[in-house]
Structure 1
Amino acid sequence: MRNPKRVLAASTLVSEALVVFFATLAATALHREEQGRYLVAGGVLVLLCVLCAGLLRSRAGYVLGWALQVVIVASGFVVPEAFRWTMVGIGVAFAGIWWGCLHIGERVEREREQVARGLADRSGSEG
């Protein structure tokens, strides 16, 4: 059975990678003289999101995920001013989604364990 916390967190990171990719394209269109810088920074963030989704089998993946949330929110302050608060808002929204996915995933894991223990107790008492 799949780990619900990992599935939710990985889905969030992959979705975030797509949003960062499209935001990078928009930022380069708005600020032509910084195109190279934005493309490299956005590309690195996209790759880190995807890499982090693959690392979620260990605690390091979740720590990197939190670090990415901070970096993505902070990236809103280095894009063109016309795009700044949109990026900060997107970063904050994804940080909230990330937090929610981790907490909901942990709750589902606990409830699965309780159900499994209850079923084991029940089948043990019937035998």
Structure 2
Amino acid sequence: MRTLCASTLIGEFFVIGFAGLVAMQTAGLHATTVWAVSGTAMVLSVLLCGMLSRPGAVQTGWALQIGLIASGFVVPVMFFLGAVFAALWWASVHFGRKVDEAKARFAAQAAAPGSDAA
């Protein structure tokens, strides 16, 4: 699960950065505000890559997905990109857990006495 989720988060890092560049061109927004919000989200996405095995990391990732979708109120294309990354996050968590379960099952079979896998 960690590999799939980390890949999604790194992709989000770049999308958030590019969305920040677009948001800077929006009238009424100061660059400091844009980069405070975008920078925080970018740092969070990178930090989550290393914290995926800890409790609450997946839930924090979902909060990041909601924030990414909500950023569509500033940069409208982010409604679409946020939804795409939310779907990728779901797939990463869902299928990543299935892969982890299969790996654990195969490791248990290989470690069982009388197995021919060794």
TM-score (ref. length: structure 2): 0.87
Residues 1:15 and 2:11 are matched in the alignment = yes
Equivalent position to 1:120, from 107, 111, 115: 111
Match 2:34 to one of 19, 34, 38: 38
Using the alignment, how far apart are the partners of 2:91 and 2:45 within structure 1? Answer: 17
**SS of 2:60's equivalent?**
helix
Q: How far does the alpha carbon of each residue in 1:5-28 deviate from its partner, in whole angstroms, 9 at most, with x for none?
A: 011111111110111101110121
Q: Residues 98, 33 of structure 1: CA spacing in aligned structure 2 closer, same or farther, 3 A cutoff? A: same
**What's the Cα RMSD here?**
1.7
Aligned length: 115
Structure 1, unaligned runs of 5 or more: none
Deviation of 1:126 after TM superposition, in Å, equals 6.0
Higher helix share: 1
Counterpart Cα distance in 2 of 1:89 and 1:7: 24
What letter is aligned with 2:30? Q
Percentage of matched positions with identical amino acids? 34
Residue 39 of structure 1: how far off its partner (Å):
2.3
TM-score (ref. length: structure 1): 0.81
Q: 2:60 aligns with which of 58, 64, 67?
A: 64
